[in-house]
Structure 1
Amino acid sequence: MPPDEATLTRLHADHAVSVYRFAWSVTKDESLAQEVVQELFLKLARDAAVITTAQSERAVIFTLTRNLALDALRRRSTREDAMQRFADELPAWFLPCADVENEETRMQITAALTALPEEQRTVIHLHVWEDLSFREIGGLLDLPTQTVASRYRYGLEKLRAQKHTLV
């Protein structure tokens, strides 16, 4: 059960600044620390039992903050590793369209993606540009993780085959 507005306001007033400082000390990243603070207060807004059943409100808040910060660091590391793998795995012409300065190349990429079946295009978009894992995409699309991975692989194979006609 969510807490009442007064409780949430009090929690934020009492803890937001110190939680941010703590999150920053763990992540060493301002924007990541801000995300952690936001995620913490969203978590508290959804479930008051986390705080109301605790002996020490402050201890619970800092435990949650630490866990959320470590999770954020792991996600960032995973995302960076995935981007490096993408850079190694994907053909050079397959770049996010926003990063492509050459209008002709951007149009070729858009055409290549448009030629893919919708389910493959969706998975590639969510994985490459939205940084979602196959598991997250499976949850979003209500598909098994293996199906998502297969659609991604098949889509990449079709894009690689199209590369020869584009370049």
Structure 2
Amino acid sequence: MPSTEATLIRLHADYAISAYQFAWSVTKDEPLAQDVVQGLFLKLARDADAITSAQSERAMIFTLVRNLALDALRRRSTREKALDRWAEELPEWFEPHADAPTEDQRLLLTAALAALPEDQRSVIHLHLWEELSFREIGELLDLRTQTIASRYRYGLEKLRTQKHILA
């Protein structure tokens, strides 16, 4: 068994339950706490050796859990605020709009997005539809924030060049 895999197994055995309990104490939400612990072990899987070089393995685990839990709470708060805004606007969504995209335009937009390179398409999706910041996307994809911003900009530029198709 590779050392990284052995380290992850040991960390999971040693900390999974207490990490969950701590995540729950921060979030007061069982599914969210479970997501936090899953995020913790995904983060550790990307860099399991970093924890072995930490002064205190336990302190690093709980710092990561706390940070992940607070990030999850912030994202949930942002989603809830957006949902509240959308709930106020919801009746308007069902009114016919003169500029509403037709089914053909939706299909063209889907095709235009599909034509983008996967790295640009992913960044555009995560930023526009999942409302993640460039920093959060960078952490998720393990890339620099500047790289994420560039991929987003290049993707939008490619979509703009197809604007005549979407019009």
TM-score range, shorter chain: 0.5 to 0.7
CA distance in 1 between counterparts of 2:101 and 2:94 reads: 8
Does 1:111 find its partner at 2:112? no
AA of the residue aligned to 1:5: E
| Structure 1 residues 139 and 93, CA gap change in structure 2 (3 angstroms) | farther
- What do the CA deviations read for 1:109-160 (whole angstroms, capped 9, x no partner)? 983872774469x9xxx58x95334755x94992239x59xx9xxxxxx9xx
CA distance in 2 between counterparts of 1:139 and 1:88 reads: 32
CA distance in 2 between counterparts of 1:21 and 1:110 reads: 49
CA distance in 2 between counterparts of 1:76 and 1:113 reads: 32
CA distance in 2 between counterparts of 1:34 and 1:6 reads: 22
The answer to whether the Cα contact below 8 Å between 1:27 and 1:73 also exists between their aligned partners in 2 is: yes
CA distance in 2 between counterparts of 1:24 and 1:10 reads: 22
Moved more, 41-50 or 17-26: 41-50
Q: State the match for 1:58 in structure 2.
A: 58
| Structure 1 residues 133 and 53, CA gap change in structure 2 (3 angstroms) | closer
Moved more, 16-25 or 84-93: 84-93
Q: State the match for 1:25 in structure 2.
A: 25
Q: State the shift of 1:86 in Å.
A: 2.5
Q: State the shift of 1:25 in Å.
A: 0.5
**Aligned positions, number:** 135
Q: State the match for 1:48 in structure 2.
A: 48
Q: State the match for 2:152 in structure 1.
A: 143
| Structure 1 residues 116 and 82, CA gap change in structure 2 (3 angstroms) | farther
3-state SS of paired residue (2:93): coil
The answer to whether the Cα contact below 8 Å between 2:23 and 2:37 also exists between their aligned partners in 1 is: yes
CA distance in 2 between counterparts of 1:29 and 1:15 reads: 19
How high is the TM-score relative to the length of structure 2?
0.61
Does 1:73 find its partner at 2:45? no
AA of the residue aligned to 1:63: T
CA distance in 2 between counterparts of 1:88 and 1:113 reads: 27
RMSD: 4.1
Q: State the shift of 1:85 in Å.
A: 2.1
